[in-house]
Amino acid sequence: MTAREEELVAVALLGDPEAELVCFQQKRWRELAALVRYAQRDVPVALSQTDPALYRTLREQVTRFYLRGGGAYSLEKLEAMASVQDEAEGKGAIRDGPFPVG
């Protein structure tokens, strides 16, 4: 996932707390890691000069994320689980691919 894609996912999840729960239930660790990473870095301060309303909205959403318990997520563990999930999917794709293995 590119940095821009991560930012878009994080902003979308911040705006819809129910989507965060869906990601957790569906074990979409990469998206949750993007959300936690964005919240930890905080909203870019430059945004307060270019789009104050968006900056204020995102700051409020980050605050709500932490008030709902978002600080309990471990970025390292989410990234590790996403890595394991990617490896498992990669192995499955080779095994299930159109070409015989072995």
Please indicate, yes or no, if residue 65 is contained in any of the structural domains: yes
Candidates 8, 22, 20; CA nearest to 69 is 20
- pLDDT exceeds cutoff 90 at 34: yes
Please indicate, yes or no, if residue 102 is contained in any of the structural domains: no
Q: How many domains does the chain have?
A: 1
DSSP 8-state code for residue 70:
G
- pLDDT exceeds cutoff 70 at 19: yes
Model confidence, pTM: 0.82
- pLDDT exceeds cutoff 70 at 62: yes
Domain that holds residue 49: 3-95
Please indicate, yes or no, if residue 7 is contained in any of the structural domains: yes
Whether the Cβ atoms of residue 62 and residue 39 lie closer than 8 Å to each other: yes
Q: What pLDDT score was predicted for residue 91? A: 65
Mean per-residue pLDDT of the chain = 88
Please indicate, yes or no, if residue 10 is contained in any of the structural domains: yes
